Amino acid sequence: MQGLTLAFNVVTPLVIYMVIGVIIRLLKLFSNSTLKELNNVIFKVLIPFSLFFDIYSADLGSVVSAPLFLWTCGLITATFVIALLVSIKAMPNDRADIPTVAQGIYRSNTVLFGTVISRSIAGEEGAAIMAALFVVVVPLLNILAVIDFEVMRGGKVDLKKTLWQIVKNPLVVAGILGGVVNLSGLKLPELVCQPLITLGDLASPLALVVLGAMLSFKSMVSHKGRLLTAVFCKLVAVPAVCLTVMALLGYRGAAMAALLAVFASPTAVASTPMAQTLGGNVKLAGEIVALTTAFSVVTVFLFIAVLSNLGLL
């Protein structure tokens, strides 16, 4: 019963925020261009502020664990390889759909869902671990996405260009700056911090509202086989396997909450523009984001309930 209560407490706010977004879309209060502009502000300004202060205020000595980082990155990389192989097996002759489906399986929306889930389950300690993981997880997912599409279209991976794109990523910059300031012992003036923290606190609820307003479920019938593969693997198979491995390695509590956020989150919104830029199936990418986001409300709820009842959260 306690596990179900925790699951309800975590998932209910996510549902409410996204439903408000759906209502905004139905009432046509914002145009698509306005929603995209809001999304840019959220991912380039608000979330970086939130990430910076999560790391800045964390006790990194107690939350940063090299084995946790290595196992997380190892499992993400293994998921990438398996997702690519599964996609090739399922659609051997479609070089646009293969990397798109594979990306839908291994690339999680940890930026948006990660902090919300980990903080809801494990408080500030969970948010701090998640923030620290961002520093390695976000660059890794970007690198794997570029490799994914370039390999399937027969191109060469431009390592220099890829690294430069990662270095410019506001989330990576915020994470590194937060770590540097934290480890340096520098104390920022409260007068400056407080308004920026308040802005950062707007990031998750506003992002979920905008996500709800941008979800589209049109034209999915022609892709139903590919969508079923991506949704099942992303929301059920990947988290079930990866979280089992991490549980067997002894991870519990706040660390498990952060790992749940990494592996059970829906497909990243950024996967759609990535597919467009690198020659993937843009419509399919958007449909994967929409479906995994919608169904993640159910699967995240179930994973939280099960892990809590097993004493892992």
pLDDT score at 231: 95
Closest among 75, 60, 195 to 130, alpha carbons compared: 60
Mean pLDDT of 201-222: 79
pLDDT at 271 over 80: yes
Q: Among 54-58, 88-92, 150-154, 271-275, where is mean pLDDT lowest? A: 150-154
pLDDT score at 220: 73
Query: Considering the domain boundaries, does residue 313 fall inside one?
Result: no
Which two structure tokens, joined as six digits, stand for 238? 């990947």
pLDDT score at 70: 95
pLDDT score at 265: 92
Instruction: Name residue 108's beta-bridge partners.
Output: 267
pLDDT score at 156: 64
Query: Considering the domain boundaries, does residue 107 fall inside one?
Result: yes
Query: Considering the domain boundaries, does residue 134 fall inside one?
Result: yes
pLDDT score at 155: 58
Closest among 78, 228, 59 to 144, alpha carbons compared: 78
Q: How far is CA 10 from CA 7, 25, 171, 267, in A?
A: 5, 24, 24, 19
pLDDT at 233 over 80: yes
pLDDT score at 69: 92
The type of residue at 180 is V
Query: Considering the domain boundaries, does residue 312 fall inside one?
Result: no
pLDDT at 219 over 70: no
Mean pLDDT of 25-48: 87
271: left (phi over 0), alpha (psi -120 to 50) or beta: alpha
pLDDT score at 38: 87
Mean pLDDT of 214-231: 81
pLDDT at 4 over 60: yes
% of the chain beyond a pLDDT of 90:
33
Residue 161's Cβ-count burial label (10 Å; 0-12, 13-18, 19+) is exposed
Query: Considering the domain boundaries, does residue 15 fall inside one?
Result: yes
CATH of the domain at 113: 1.20.1530.20
pLDDT at 1 over 60: no
In the chain, the number of structural domains is 1
Q: pLDDT band at residue 243, thresholds of 50, 70 and 90?
A: very high
Q: pLDDT band at residue 241, thresholds of 50, 70 and 90?
A: very high
Q: pLDDT band at residue 77, thresholds of 50, 70 and 90?
A: very high
State the residue range of the domain holding 12. 2-307
Contact status, residue 49 vs residue 55, Cβ threshold 8 Å:
no
pLDDT at 282 over 90: no
- Residues 183-205 have pLDDT tens digits of 888 889 989 899 998 988 888 78
pLDDT at 150 over 70: yes
Q: Taking all residues of the chain, what is their mean pLDDT, rounded to a whole number?
A: 86
